[in-house]
Amino acid sequence: MDNKRYVIIGGSAAGMAAAETIRTCDPNGHIQVLSEEGDAPYFRPMIPFVVSRKKKADEISMQGQGPYRAENVEIRLATRITGIDTRTASVITEQGESISYDRLLIATGSRPNIPQNITNLNCNGVFALRTLADARQASERAKNTTHAILLGGGLLNLKAAFALLERGIKVTLVVYSPEILSQLMEPADALLLRRALGRAGLTILTDCSAVQIRSDRHGVRAVTLDNGLELVCRMVCIGKGVRPNADWIDNNEITLDKGVVVDKYTCTGADHVYAAGDVAVTYESITGKPVVTGLWTNAVEMGRCAGANMAGRPTVYGGTFGIMNATQIARMPFVSMGMVHTTGTDYETHCKSSRESYRKLVFSPEGDRLIGALFIGDISGAGLYRAIIRERLRINEIKPRVIDHTLHYGHLLCAKGYEKGTVQ
């Protein structure tokens, strides 16, 4: 039997995880990764370190790091795919080249969500820090910048803000929402982090947005807000979310609904065509609702699942689980997972706060399942809470331990025993 030809469109988290899994499952198959970027695969979450100059570009490379050995994997850079022909089982490059496949993975990720209501976005000094190329240009621009405006209060923008603060640049964050990190927590949950950011020197303006960027021959010179305020600056970074990079796909066999819709095996509607990562529409493991994930960890997990299926080892994807790995902002660690937005719902919620920490636990309306948790400051035990949420355990017998934060692994085993009926 001929060796299979595996083609992967996209060289980031999902694509590289799939390539490594395929190589493990099928040592003889030919794997070809097609990346639109000119840089070899790298750890995208680390690009703020390139802006801060703590890391050089080659220090955030994926190849040869951890599980990303990329042995016997062909990686073609600067190769943009413009179409998929499922009749001939081939993909078409921007130059018109046809590349055949036996198994195809769409792992094109996402692109920045650029607001269309801001005028003069194309002037010099405006960045959306999504790629390593963006980071290089932003780092160079920072040499002649004393004040930077960042639009959006998400995690990537906060990391970019600290990268610039570390270079001695004044940073103002302009946030349309009532508070920062609105996708990961509610406004009342963010107060501890907000105070820590203020102490670190970050200026935050909420409930407002940019409407115009003013420029001169050197590029950006100011940003005008919808409240009439004008902020003088020489640099603007846009971090207002991302969108699945699926607009290039025009094939009736592949269902699109914002992203590429896949089944529990990461299969699309077309034979031998799979999708994984930010471009894929999968389901949320707690609610079962369709969802597009923007998290690196979820992309890796989905990529591994897709790779196994492509190599002939049927594997069910467990569903996207909204968890942000332990992350530190302004020396304040936090973890947000599952359902944490409770306003207007009938979820049972328990919150506890102090000067140094904040904890929010969210239970199902019946109160017998933990469905979300937020830890700020003190993140000890977060792994146990994650296991309870993800495994959908009934926790009636250990609920007091969960609420008062005296949970340990033995309690988790007991909960599993009650679930299986082995504990009376």
Global pTM?
0.90
The whole-angstrom separation of Cα 256 and Cα 98 is 23
Classify the C-alpha dihedral 147-148-154-158 as positive or negative: negative
Do residues 168 and 145 make contact, with C-beta atoms less than 8 angstroms apart?
no
pLDDT of residue 417: 59
Task: State both tokens at 159.
Answer: 């990391």
The string of DSSP letters for 256-296 reads: EESEEE--TTSB-SSTTEEE-GGGEEEEBTTT--EEE---H
How many of the other CB atoms lie within 10 Å of CB of 208? 14
In the chain, domain spans? 5-110+243-310, 126-240, 327-420
CATH of 5-110+243-310, one of 3.40.50.2300, 3.50.50.60, 1.10.3720.10, 3.30.70.141: 3.50.50.60
Do residues 321 and 338 make contact, with C-beta atoms less than 8 angstroms apart?
yes
The whole-angstrom separation of Cα 146 and Cα 273 is 49
CA 254, 258, 264, 269: dihedral to nearest 10 degrees? -10
pLDDT tens track for 135-166: 999 999 999 999 999 999 998 899 999 999 99
CA 62 to each of CA 16, 28, 129, 314: distance values in angstroms, whole numbers, following the listed order: 8, 22, 18, 27
Indicate the residue type of 312. Answer: G
pLDDT of residue 1: 43
In the DSSP assignment, the letter for residue 352 is: E
The whole-angstrom separation of Cα 262 and Cα 336 is 26
Domains 5-110+243-310 and 327-420 share a fold: no
Consecutive 10-residue averages of pLDDT for the chain (424 residues): 88 95 95 96 94 94 75 92 97 97 97 92 94 96 96 92 96 95 92 94 96 96 97 95 92 93 95 97 78 84 96 89 71 91 95 95 95 94 89 87 86 65 50
CATH code of the domain made up of 126-240: 3.50.50.60
Do residues 35 and 76 make contact, with C-beta atoms less than 8 angstroms apart?
yes
34, β-bridge pairs = 9, 76
- The fold adopted by the segment(s) 327-420 is Enolase-like; domain 1 (3.30.390)
Instruction: Give the end-to-end CA distance of the chain in Å, rounded to a whole number.
Output: 54
Contacts 24+ apart (CB under 8 A), 364-371: 367/396, 367/399, 368/394, 368/395, 368/396, 368/399, 369/393, 369/394, 369/395, 370/338, 370/395, 370/402, 371/286, 371/338, 371/339, 371/347
Task: State both tokens at 27.
Answer: 């040592």
The whole-angstrom separation of Cα 414 and Cα 424 is 10
The whole-angstrom separation of Cα 70 and Cα 62 is 9
